[in-house]
Amino acid sequence: MLDPNKSTVLIVDPSASNRSLISECLAQLPDVQTVVAANGAQALNQFCKHHPSLVLMDIALHDTDGLSIAKSMRSWERSAEQPGVMPWTPIVFLSTVMDEDILAEGIMAGGDDFLYKPVSEVVLLAKVRALLRIVCMQKEIHEAHRQIKALSLLDGLTNIPNRRHFDETLRTEWRRCSRLKAPLSIVIGDVDFFKQFNDIYGHQAGDECLKAVAGALNESLFRVEDIVARYGGEEFAAILPGTDAIGAQAVAERMRSSARELCIPHQGGVGGLISCSFGVASMVPSCETPAPLLLQAADESLYAAKRNGRNQIRSLDQGAQKTG
């Protein structure tokens, strides 16, 4: 069992004695652990399974050559979308031949450095330390980039997806549902009489209200593929892929009830409490139909709900749903 807190070095060499010597040498580094492979097939298997921090690979393998395996590793890195898989793993070729052309071919194939056999223990340890420092910095940059990207898709106040995330998800789900001939539903809602709430209780109370409503709406979604985002101001919108009109109305009712059950006082609201109104729209997307049409239908349904008394759900093809 590998230690997740240590750097993993994959050693690929057809010679069992060479694999053992290199492993024993690297054992001097307390934060390094090794896995080994005797041929190209094993190397690829270990690479994809363990996501090593560094690869030390003999350029001459029995079943293939190291250049081909390096190309396959680089191809797998580009296609991998798994957590923890870095976009670049250093590959150091080991060779008994000092040939500039082979060195150039190795770099073109995706290698990063060469060590000539027999490898000096001092040189090997120095190279491994240097490359693992670079890998460590790459991981820190990668994680910082991931966090920045995640933050860029969240609303700063409510901590749910923002409008940018909503738009990106809608484009993705529109294409997917179009390809699968599956329904896609949108629910758009806003907090009733929110301007009056701010006027009465102040903007700080308004912010707390939006946070509470956002949390309630988010908890109303039971499927991981559904999302609710802050659409703008006091407006929220949910994307429900694979959900038809009846299912979307059921989700909207859970959202409406959840917001109402917060029991946030509002002198100017419906029945003296905070409430939300919702518009629902559903269709099976197609290449000929643009996504904004679905948004427009949900938006028109929302305004119908607001015109007809608020704290309710409307869709273009049905009347007001439950209120209370």
CB atoms within 10 A of CB 201: 17
Query: Taking the domains of the chain in order of start, what are their residue ranges?
Result: 7-152, 163-315
How much is the pLDDT for 83?
57
Q: What is the pLDDT of residue 99?
A: 80
> Can you give the pLDDT at residue 319?
40
Strand (E) or helix (H) holding 315 = strand 313-315
Residue 8 corresponds to which amino acid? T
Position 317 scores a pLDDT of: 58
Q: Find tokens 């793993």 and name the residue.
A: 89
Q: What is the pLDDT of residue 81?
A: 62
Residue type, 69: I
Pairing between β-strand 276-283 and β-strand 184-191 as defined by DSSP bridges: antiparallel
Instruction: Tell me if 66 sits within 8 A of 106, measured CB to CB.
Output: yes
In three-state form (DSSP H/G/I as H, E/B as E, the rest C), the secondary structure along 277-288 is EEEEEEECCCCC
Angle at 95 between CA 92 and CA 97, to 5 degrees: 140
Closest CA to 269 of 206, 179, 175, 184: 206
* Predicted pLDDT at 145: 81
Instruction: Report the CATH fold assignment for 163-315.
Output: Alpha-Beta Plaits (3.30.70)
Pairing of strands 7-12, 32-37: parallel
Contact 183, 244 (CB under 8 A): yes
The pLDDT value given to residue 288: 85
- Domain 7-152 indexed as CATH 3.30.1050.10: no
Report residues of the chain scoring pLDDT below 50: 318-324
What is the reported pTM? 0.63
Strands 7-12 and 54-58: parallel
Residue ranges of E strands in 46-205: 54-58, 91-95, 113-116, 184-191
pLDDT score recorded for residue 164: 93
Model pLDDT for residues 75-91, shown as the tens digit of each residue? 998 887 665 566 789 99
